[in-house]
C-alpha cells in the first residue's frame, strides 16, 4: 500500500475517533428526549412536517399501523417502478 493510502486511512480513523464522543453525546440527548442545540432550529420544521402529514407526535403507533406503513410504502414503490418505461 502506498503512503497516500495509509494517510487516507489515518485521516478517516482520526475523524471517526474525534466525532465519536460529541456525536454519541448528541444522540444520547436525542434518545433521552432532552433538548439539543438543534431543537430551536429544526423543531418548527419537524412540527410542520407532522402537521402536513397529519401525524400526532404524542400518540403511540400501534403494531397494525406500524406494519401498514412499510407495506404501503413498498407497494407504492413497486407500482411506481412497474409503471416507468
Are 28 and 22 in contact by the 8 Å Cβ rule? The answer is no
CB atoms within 10 A of CB 29: 15
Q: Could you tell me the pTM of the whole model?
A: 0.57
User: In angstroms, what CA-CA distances link 64 with 7, 55, 68?
Assistant: 50, 16, 6
Q: pLDDT tens string for the chain (85 positions)?
A: 899 999 999 999 999 999 999 999 999 999 998 999 999 999 999 999 999 988 898 998 889 988 988 999 999 999 999 887 6
Are 51 and 44 in contact by the 8 Å Cβ rule? The answer is no
Amino acid at each position: 500500500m502506498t503512503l497516500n493510502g495509509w494517510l487516507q486511512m489515518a485521516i478517516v480513523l482520526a475523524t471517526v475517533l474525534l466525532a465519536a464522543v460529541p456525536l454519541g453525546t448528541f444522540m444520547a440527548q436525542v434518545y433521552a428526549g432532552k433538548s439539543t442545540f438543534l431543537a430551536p432550529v429544526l423543531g418548527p420544521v419537524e412540527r410542520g412536517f407532522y402537521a402536513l402529514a397529519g401525524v400526532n407526535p404524542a400518540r403511540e403507533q400501534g403494531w397494525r399501523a406500524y406494519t401498514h406503513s412499510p407495506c404501503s410504502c413498498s407497494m407504492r414503490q413497486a407500482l411506481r417502478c412497474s409503471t416507468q418505461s
